[in-house]
Amino acid sequence: MTGPLAGVRVVDLTAALAGPYTTMILADLGADIIKVEPPGGEVTRRVGPYPPSDDGQATLGGYFQSVNRGKRSIVLDLKTPEGHAELLELVRNADVLVENFGPGVVERLDISYETMRQVNPRLVYGSLTGFGSTWSGESPYMNWPAMDITIQAMAGALSITGTEDGKPVKIGPGIGDIFPGTMLAIGVLSALFEAERTGQGQQIDVAMFDAMLSLCERIVYQYSYTGQVPKPIGNTHPILTPFDVLEVKDGWIAVAATTQLRWEALCRIMERPELIEDARFRNETCRVEHRAEIRTLLDDWSRDLTRAEVTEKLGGKVPFGPVNDIRDIFDDPHAWARDMLVEIDNPGSSQKAIVAGQPIKFSRTPSKVGTRAPLLNEHGAAIRTENRSPAFERSH
């Protein structure tokens, strides 16, 4: 691996999306991720879609490939003394352990941080739960299970997403999982940096609720400052305008000409320079007060143009973008040029898997999507051999 985390070894006890997304980031940055799976395999191995098989054998599904690429798999039954002992040996030679078990599971399996720190005092132990650990702030919801949509609901995201007169709408991606997973990766990296200086590890606790509330930071200060409860306002912004999605002949576009200079540029592009001096639109505050009138003006201008025509007029001049579906993105050279669409192998199928790339770029130690996701227990023998090697233990 070439990334900045080359040489860092991570024991990955995660499943589903939030935790595997954390370790996926670390894998892309060069860490050696040892994915510990139960005898039947991690649950998302059984989730599609699957590519066509060349020989009738099972192939790796898209869900599993996307967030488990670049990892190595070993099967351990942590409910048995043998499996538990093998995990302790992995932890002895690891830098990081990441887990996202449900409430009480690590205690029942005797794999809590308190147990693991006795084996490896330098260990960074990352925990991702719905509502947090007792030591970092006991919550009345501590034992509640959590999923993306329930966390989006409880942490405020659903209350401000949707149209003004409609029902709450879930944010499209699984952001209630992915954002907490990203925050845990930041926590792990911070604790690794600190451990290098002190020789001591620590536990990191990221609650999905906490992470999502931090993502919804705007509604916190809005309510604190005004006493008003923010509501859904569609594609607009409560304190900026124009900031909206407009219909064109063949689809939709997004425009955000919110500063004075960008508003003036937009007026000139629309061949309406007189709007610059119009008292209703003379500054940002006035434009917010006359949001509906601006929307009418923009609709009158955009509805007779195509996406290509609007792109020619606005592209590079004011903040603008076509509303792309994934087919549009696959056809756009930007995502390929930036290595944000990456092909990886799919065992048993001649069809390559394409997954989202790694957005963090480094000038000297490049990050990259490495190998495909592992087959179940594909690396078990190799990992056990490494872990028994005195040379590995000393060098690590």
The partner residues of 356 in beta bridges, in order of sequence, read 341
Q: Edge-to-edge strands of the sheet including 71-75?
A: 71-75, 32-37, 9-13, 96-99, 124-129, 202-207
d(CA 168, CA 158): 5
Let me know if 32 is a catalytic residue: no
Q: Which H or E run includes 265?
A: helix 260-269
Q: How far is Cα 276 from Cα 264, in angstroms, rounded to an integer?
A: 6
CB atoms within 10 A of CB 273: 11
Q: Which of 28, 177, 210, 244 is catalytic?
A: 177
Q: CB under 8 Å, gap of 24 or more: what pairs does 356-364 form?
A: 356/66, 358/25, 358/28, 358/29, 360/25, 360/28, 360/29, 362/3, 362/4
Q: Which of 81, 112, 129, 98 is nearest to 36 (CA)?
A: 98
Q: Which residue carries 């007792």 as its tokens? A: 134
User: With contact defined as beta carbons under 8 Å apart, do 368 and 339 qualify?
Assistant: yes
Compute the distance between CA of residue 351 and CA of residue 372 in angstroms, rounded to an integer. Answer: 13
As annotated, the active-site residues are 177
